[in-house]
Chain A
Amino acid sequence: MERTEVVEPDGRAGTGTAGAERVLDRAGWAATRFALGALRYSIPASANRLPYMLGGFTFLGLVVLALTGVWLDQLYNPDPLAAHASVVYTVTRAPLGAWVRALHYWAACVVVVSVVLHLAHVFWRRSYVAPREVTWWSGVLLLVLVGALTFTGTVLRADQEGGEALAHAVAAAELLGPLGALLSPDFSPGTSLLARIHNAHVSLLPLLLGGTIALHFWLIRHLGINAPASGSAVFAEHVRRLLGYGLIGVAALCLVAALLPPALGHRAVEGVEVTKPFWPFLWIYTLENTIGLWGMIVGPAVILGFLVAVPLLDRGAERPAWLTVLAAALLVALLGALAYGFVAPQMQHIGM
């Protein structure tokens, strides 16, 4: 009988008969061509637990966002006079438009939650200490990029909430002076700010995100996953589990998106503040209610500054107690401000 080499889906080479293992052989063909064997490296067995998959879930969420975003962008018109109408068209007339938009929205919510949980878990595990400082910083940059993508996505709706979000960004840019030039409508008088925000959302930010994710993955691959040593597992199995849970999550998201479509407000009326921002930004809204427009600059700057400084502040064998207390205080303040944002009175911030 003719013997043929069979490469299993996970890249392991073996032997088998040509007829009996045809299916496996086909998968093996792909495994060989795509060098999937490279995924068969050893990781701690405990890394297969769910908290260690939060980063992977975030990545899968970003993939869903990219796929749905490509579809939505085919229907979007970044002209300020036509943007809202194009979103209305997407929701009311385009085939599966409302569902794809809802999937995009709910995937964004999942990504925001999972990236924050991932960051909290990594902080708890002290996975930022040497030699993983750059891994941490690249993660912080990813958080910023996810925040920027969330914000720009909100603006693109061009409804009242989006218009107010953009007006706040312009006001912040004016407060920052030359540092806020990019968000000023005067930066490029020939192109509307909405068109530039759209450009950032669909090209600039995704490019930066892709590059940073590549760096993040590279560092994790070569510096290893910081999980308790409880035996060893194979990374390919980790990916398989991750994809398994991820796809079940996507199935749930598909149904949630069909049953709970996100609202789309009326077309924005300039210079009016009657809405609150998208929920991930409600903590900033609370700060604005408390200390005015500077709140939307000071609040994120404090959080970001803290996150960047963490690896520099914790360089010993154990985390200093004051750093844990400070992190906990910031987290409680953040969650408190977020919760209060839901019930806070609606206020005028710009021009006050």
Chain B
Amino acid sequence: MRLPVLLLLATGLVVGPAAAFTHEKGVIRLGADEVAAGTELEVRGEKLPKRTEFMLVLRGALETHTLGKVTTDTLGAFVARVLVPAVVQPGAYVVRALAPDGDESARAEVRVLAAAAAGAATEDHGAAHGHGEEAEAGHAMSVEATAEPPDLPVRHGPLGWAVILGVSAACLVSGLALLRQARGAPGHATRTG
């Protein structure tokens, strides 16, 4: 009897506040489905709460960038041109309009192209690839989405190999010594069966 009541209470505690503060969904329309990092994007909002300030953010799983603040008019709409930061990495993102309490009121999907690749952006940018180049730790690496790993130069060097072999040998010798000690230890295991 107690358990169901507790479960019900716990569910209510978790779901209740969330339901209470859920906003009605508005609509965001973007001027383009694709935008190059470092350029502007037109964002139109409608069916949102009237005369309310919203924070526009560009969200991906790894990165979230603030695009700016907008305020809806008496009809619950807004039009804004926001700058997509140049540091945004290529990929698929969501433009979100966040209410003052942080809840999402509207969203729209957008594909961000690399700033360098903007001029070369073509119609076939899509389904599964983002393009561009970046320099990482001195190694130029393509950021094309692929499961294939890049060819990173991994070299241990003579000193590195000496350390690796030394540690391996130390572990091996210590391990063998401990096993020998354990087998030679008198009277530690007294079997009765």
Contacts from A to B (Cβ < 8 Å):
10, 45, 48, 80-81, 83-85, 88-89, 91-93, 95-96, 98-99, 158-161, 163, 166-167, 169-170, 177-179, 185-186, 189, 192-194, 229-234, 236-237, 240-241, 243-252, 254-255, 257-258, 261, 263-276, 346
Does B62 lie at the interface of the complex (its beta carbon under 8 Å from any beta carbon of A)? yes
Query: Beyond A178-B18, A233-B189, A250-B171, is A192–B63 a contact (Cβ under 8 Å)?
Result: yes
| A243 and B141 contact, CB distance less than 8 A | no
Q: Are A271 and B149 in contact (CB under 8 A)?
A: no
Smallest CB–CB gap between A40 and chain B, Å? Answer: 9
Closest to A237 in B: B188
> In the complex the two chains form, what is the Cα distance from A133 to B153 in whole Å?
50
Complex Cα distance A93/B139, Å? 11
Q: A98-B154, A232-B189, A274-B147 are in contact. Are A266 and B141 (CB under 8 A)?
A: yes
Chain B residues whose C-beta falls within 8 Å of the C-beta of A247 in the assembled complex: 171-172, 174-175, 178
Enumerate chain B residues within 8 angstroms of A274, measured Cβ to Cβ.
128, 145-147
With contacts A189-B102, A244-B179, A248-B172 taken as known, whether A91 is within 8 angstroms of B152 at the C-beta atoms is: yes
Residues in B whose Cβ lies below 8 Å from that of A261: 154
User: Contacts A92-B139, A258-B164, A265-B150 given: A237-B63 contact, CB under 8 Å?
Assistant: no
Q: List chain A residues, Cβ under 8 A from B169.
A: 251
- Whether B137 and A89, one on each chain, are in contact in the complex, defined by CB atoms closer than 8 angstroms, is yes
Binds A, one of B1-9, B43-51, B70-78, B83-91: B83-91
- Which of chain A's residues have a CB closer than 8 A to the CB of B185? 10, 237, 240
Q: Are B102 and A269 in contact (CB under 8 A)?
A: no
A-B contact pairs, 20 of them (CB 8 A): A80-B63, A81-B63, A88-B141, A92-B139, A96-B156, A158-B62, A178-B15, A185-B61, A186-B98, A230-B192, A231-B190, A234-B189, A243-B178, A247-B174, A263-B149, A265-B147, A266-B145, A266-B149, A270-B60, A272-B129
Binary interface encoding of chain B residues 133-144 relative to chain A, with 1 for a CB under 8 A from any of its CBs, else 0: 010111101111
B178 touches A270 (CB 8 A): no
Residue of B nearest to A90 (CB): B137
Give the distance in Å from the alpha carbon of A92 to the alpha carbon of B102 in the complex. 41
Closest chain B CB from A166 CB (angstroms): 4
Interface residues of B (CB under 8 A from A): 14-15, 17-18, 59-64, 87, 89-93, 98, 102, 104, 111-112, 128-130, 134, 136-139, 141-150, 152-154, 156, 160-161, 163-164, 167-169, 171-172, 174-179, 181-182, 185, 188-193
B143, B149, B175, B189: the one within 8 Å of A231 (CB): B189
Say whether A270 contacts B147, CB under 8 Å. no
Establish whether residues B190 and A186, one from each chain, have CB atoms under 8 Å apart when the complex forms. Answer: no
Q: Give the distance in Å from the alpha carbon of A266 to the alpha carbon of B149 in the complex.
A: 6
How far, in Å, is A206 (CB) from chain B's closest CB?
23
| Residues of chain A lying within 8 A (CB to CB) of residue B87 | 81
A236 to B181, CA, bound (A): 11
B179 and chain A: residue at smallest CB distance: A244
Q: Which residues of B are found within 8 Å of A275, using beta-carbon distances?
A: 147
Q: Are B182 and A192 in contact (CB under 8 A)?
A: no
Of the candidates B59, B134, B156, B179, the one whose C-beta lies within 8 Å of that of A185 is B59
> In the docked arrangement, what's the CA distance between A245 and B168, Å?
13
In the complex the two chains form, is B130's CB within 8 Å of A269's CB? yes
CB distance from A329 to the nearest CB of B (A): 28
The 8 Å CB contact of B146, one of A178, A185, A194, A266, is A266
Residue among B128, B137, B150 facing the most chain A CB atoms (10 A cut-off): B137
CA distance A39 to B17 in the complex (A): 52
Residues in B neighbouring A85, C-beta threshold 8 A: 136-137
* Chain A residues, CB < 8 A from B138: 93
Nearest-CB distance from B19 to chain A (Å)?
A: 9
Quote the shortest CB–CB distance from A293 to chain B (angstroms): 14
Say how far B166's CB is from chain A's closest CB, in angstroms. Answer: 10
**Is there contact, CB below 8 Å, between B90 and A269?**
yes
Contact between A92 and B137, CB atoms less than 8 A apart = yes
With the chains together, A186 CA to B104 CA distance in Å?
9
- B38 → chain A, closest Cβ, in Å? 14
Pair A241/B145 contact, Cβ less than 8 Å: no
Q: Is the Cβ of B156 less than 8 Å from the Cβ of A271? A: no
Q: Which residues of B contact A89 (CB under 8 A)?
A: 136-137
Please tell me if the beta carbons of B178 and A240 are within 8 angstroms of each other in the complex.
yes
